[in-house]
Structure 1
Amino acid sequence: MGFDFSRRQWLTIVVISIADFCNAICVALQAPFYPQEAEKKGCTATEFGLVFGVFELVVFLVSPIYGAHLNKLGPKLLFNGGILTTGTCAILFGMLDKVEGHVPFITLSFIIRIIEAMGNAAFLTASFAIIAKEFPNNVATMFASLETFFGLGLIVGPTLGGALYDFGGYSLPFAVLGSALFCAAVMSCLVLPKSHDDEDLKPSGPSMISLLKVPGVLLSALSIMMTSMSIGFLQATLGTTSSSSLMFVINGGVYAVSAPGWGWLCDHPAIKQKYVIAVGCAFVSAGFLLIGPAPFFDMGTQMWAVILGLTLHGLGMGSQLVASFSDALGTAIASGLPNSIETYGLVSGMWTSTFALGAFIGPTVSGLLFDSIGFRSSTLFVFILHLIVMVMMLMFTWTCDRSSKMDVSVSAGDLLQIDGTLDESVLIGDKFLPPPRTKR
């Protein structure tokens, strides 16, 4: 596994990384400043809470659509259109303080946020598909690199935005950082290589339903959703138990730093990626036992335990999110889906959609649990869910091993190099295809 990239590949990863970083900054920018402005306009917490929630809901709904039609639209068009839309919406969001009246303000907030979500979903779906196509030998490593830049953007966004807010008020952070993303979009239009692949122009191909019918892919999707739920859970409830805003940087920082390591590990052919996902589940489960801490621990909330728990959560996030993408891609191709941009788009759309669904469900469920049983007991909910996913991953992989069939967790990098049909038996849906028999 080497990193001897061509000029085209270097251009691709540099452009997408810069765009991913700027995109994350803009996505993270609204949370620190918008609620204060909304309250000035007479909006309730429920109303501006829905403005944030609708973003994830729209991403969940439209990402599979983008993924299914990626081969028709073209990944570069979807990528450029997505970040241009997101950058423009970020700038427009900064002009909302000029809107007078409660109803016009909240209405425009919803409209801009929905359009921004559509652009963000397009950008993410296309970028993951481009990575899968351009880096067939290093899918997990390159995916992890993008996630590192995205994680850094989520940290830099509120920090830099706060400084600009103190200097120039509500509009300045959105104008400056939205313009930065817009410039990144223009740069990508000029620099990002165009895909030339006649196979990508096929009018039809596999559907999202056919992708999710593969049990191994469905398990990866479940892992992505559970990880996203755990992130949303902490965002909604951890602030009520800790006064330090630095707490929110720990797991994101650990995730950004550790993701490339998980990607490098997943790109090794000998590594079964569902085992990596299971390890991530164990990290998240252990982390939430400490963050609570769990009711059966005879101690109160301790700063060292929270920090250690968030560190473990960050490691688990990196393991699950990186391994789930490359595992789903490899499993999909091993199950018989075409080794083409169509399948890359479907898997990218699935990843983006399930992550958004978890981000929508997580804060909602955590709020209900927090009100009914408290923070310490509610952390057991995430602990149990990840424990269940870990057991499912292990049992699925062990079952495949014992059946002496092709391991569906084979490296995505190896599978993406296969141009012909697979000689080994593959798992399609819930049935095994036996190897061909020779006539006597």
Structure 2
Amino acid sequence: MLFTLPDFTKRQWLTLVVFGVADFCNAICVSLQAPFYPKEAERKGATATEYGLVFGIFELVVFLVSPFYGQNLNRIGPKFLFNGGIFTVGTCAILFGLLDKVEGHYPFIILSFLIRIIEAMGNAAFLTASFAIIAKEFPDNVATTFASLETFFGLGLIVGPTVGGALYEMGGYTTPFAVLGSALFLSAIMTAFVLPPNGEAEVNTKEGASLFKVLKIPGVLLASCSIIVTSMSIGFLQATLEPHLRQFSLSPVVLGLMFVINGGTYALTAPFYGWLCDKKVLPKVITVMGCISIIIGFSMVGPAPFFPGSTVLWVCIVGLVFHGLGIAAQLVASFTDALRTCVAHGFPNNLETYGLISGLWTSTFALGAFIGPSLAGILYDHMGFRNGTMVVVGLNAIVGIVVVIFICCAKRTPAYKEVVTQEDLKSNMSLTDSGSHLLSNGHHTPSGRANSVAIERPPGMNGIITCNSYKNRHGTWHMKDTGAVLIGPYSSSYGSLESRGFLESLA
């Protein structure tokens, strides 16, 4: 089957374009200080430990606040949270560019921490809201659109240090922050006009879902573990790849390109894995593929201690390509899998659940990104790079094996399930004198038996919700207004209806 563009509406295309621009600019603002902030910090008297923590605190704050945003997304409002996050990151980017005007060691470091903490809160709000809006606005192509936005974000992380360094050379420390922070403001204005309105609050939130309830589901817990070990592998290489490659005496340009290989591969291949998920390939199968790719990649970058010989540059490059393929597969599949699994276990197919999973994804990724570099430094000092990579290989092997066991042992969802509704019971009581009544398929059945309806849907899904936009959440197919019907195969993309022709025939 050929890779074809999805049939989006005009508003969906506009939403996707604006989201891509916002993700790209946001990633640039988050990452642009890497090439020149350490130099400025040292000029103010800061140590490597101090300005290293300025970078590390960012991921820690994202980890802590993302679940809060996800759980309260419906109350705050996704559009407000999205735009508020962009404005916060843009403001903090500009303020960070004014730090060179601050005199004194401690005022500089304290303000650096405060700005990065607030920036992290804005970034967490932006990411959590964007993932949830994608799940709501693109119900039939969640994985594809999620992966596409991850591509823009990954490209922003690559371009950020490059553009930041160029603007720094042209206009000094303040210039890159002022220029790119302003660009992020403009993208926020675009989203204010293009994004659909929040609409009314969701109705099917009788019980507030919590992160702990979600993590009790084995499939979601596995997806979270997959995200953590993947982001740990990224952080491991960020902290240790440069000293590992010093043996080749590479120029700064070539060394910088080495760091782009896995990120570039991730950005290019993420949409393909999203397309696979949307075409009903089990996300857990793609997770296993990702684990295998990361294992191969890390075994080649070292290379692994059980391989004879020393490090070869071209083998290391191929290993980084495999690592990029692996992180693309795992990060895309994990979000898709967690959301589908939650809905299949009875969580409402609405914005509240999308926000909860978005917060979980953002939080667990940040946790791995915080642990990865910290653990990498310890392993590098005590075991060396080649032996240290075996820890990452082992963690991915464990996750991959457990996922395979889960796939083999998971109970298959029955094709059809007989559901007796209250309306059927009342209808049956009124028809007892007639001796028979019709089933949904048009056949007669003896009186005294409730009218049964064959449906096909994941166990625990308590309603049928189609959601091509925020406005139709109270539409015809709302769970409180819907009687049971016979539908064809349910969509794997969170509640959309695929057999529309069959449904129309029932009208």
When normalised by structure 1's length, the TM-score is 0.91
- What stretches of structure 1 move > 6 A for 4+ residues in a row? none
Aligned with residue 269 of structure 2, among 258, 264, 273: 258
C-alpha contact (below 8 Å) 2:232/2:369 kept by paired residues? yes
Change in Cα spacing, 1:31 to 1:106, as seen in structure 2 (3 Å) is: same
1:286 aligned partner, one-letter code: I
1:190 aligned partner, one-letter code: F
Task: Report the equivalent of 1:394.
Answer: 404
Deviating more after overlay: 130-139 vs 157-166: 157-166
Deviating more after overlay: 203-212 vs 79-88: 203-212
String of CA shifts for 1:241-269, please: whole Å, max 9, x gaps.
Answer: 22412110000000000000000000012
- 3-state SS of paired residue (2:309): coil
Distance 2:140 2:200 in 1: 18
Aligned with residue 18 of structure 2, among 15, 20, 27: 15
Task: Report the equivalent of 2:387.
Answer: 377
Distance 1:39 1:297 in 2: 41
C-alpha contact (below 8 Å) 2:234/2:369 kept by paired residues? yes
Q: Radius of gyration: which is bigger? A: 2
1:27 aligned partner, one-letter code: V
C-alpha contact (below 8 Å) 1:200/1:342 kept by paired residues? no
Distance 1:197 1:372 in 2: 56
Distance 2:208 2:13 in 1: 30
Task: Report the equivalent of 1:44.
Answer: 47
Task: Report the equivalent of 2:345.
Answer: 335
C-alpha contact (below 8 Å) 2:204/2:348 kept by paired residues? no
Distance 2:278 2:214 in 1: 22
Say yes or no: does 1:186 pair with 2:172: no
Deviation at residue 32 of structure 1 after TM alignment = 1.0
Distance 1:124 1:165 in 2: 27
- Cα RMSD of the aligned pairs, angstroms, is 2.2
- 3-state SS of paired residue (1:31): coil
The answer to which structure has the higher helix fraction is 1
- 3-state SS of paired residue (1:205): coil
Distance 1:394 1:17 in 2: 34
Change in Cα spacing, 1:15 to 1:59, as seen in structure 2 (3 Å) is: same
Deviation at residue 347 of structure 1 after TM alignment = 0.3
Q: Which has the higher contact order (CA 8 A, sep 6+)?
A: 1
Change in Cα spacing, 1:161 to 1:189, as seen in structure 2 (3 Å) is: same
Deviation at residue 405 of structure 1 after TM alignment = 3.9
Counterparts of 1:154-173 in structure 2, within 5 Å, are 154-173=157-176
1:260 aligned partner, one-letter code: P
Distance 2:302 2:5 in 1: 42
Gaps of 5+ in 2: 416-457, 459-463, 467-476, 487-507
When normalised by structure 2's length, the TM-score is 0.79
Counterparts of 1:145-294 in structure 2, within 5 Å, are 145-199=148-202, 202=205, 205-242=208-245, 243=250, 244-269=255-280, 271-294=281-304
C-alpha contact (below 8 Å) 1:89/1:113 kept by paired residues? yes
Task: Report the equivalent of 1:322.
Answer: 332
C-alpha contact (below 8 Å) 2:44/2:104 kept by paired residues? yes
Deviation at residue 301 of structure 1 after TM alignment = 1.1
String of CA shifts for 1:296-351, please: whole Å, max 9, x gaps.
Answer: 11111111111000000000010000000000000000010000000000000000
String of CA shifts for 1:20-74, please: whole Å, max 9, x gaps.
Answer: 0000011111111110000000001110011001000000000000000001001
Aligned with residue 137 of structure 1, among 117, 133, 140: 140
Distance 1:406 1:10 in 2: 36
Deviation at residue 198 of structure 1 after TM alignment = 4.2
- 3-state SS of paired residue (1:299): coil
Distance 2:203 2:265 in 1: 37
Task: Report the equivalent of 1:72.
Answer: 75
C-alpha contact (below 8 Å) 1:339/1:419 kept by paired residues? no
Deviation at residue 190 of structure 1 after TM alignment = 2.5
Task: Report the equivalent of 1:128.
Answer: 131
Task: Report the equivalent of 1:352.
Answer: 362
1:238 aligned partner, one-letter code: L
Distance 1:2 1:419 in 2: 29
Change in Cα spacing, 1:416 to 1:320, as seen in structure 2 (3 Å) is: farther
Distance 2:306 2:283 in 1: 32
Identity of aligned residues (%): 63
Deviation at residue 2 of structure 1 after TM alignment = 6.8
1:249 aligned partner, one-letter code: V
Deviation at residue 181 of structure 1 after TM alignment = 0.7
Task: Report the equivalent of 1:426.
Answer: none
Aligned with residue 30 of structure 1, among 14, 18, 33: 33
C-alpha contact (below 8 Å) 1:72/1:201 kept by paired residues? no
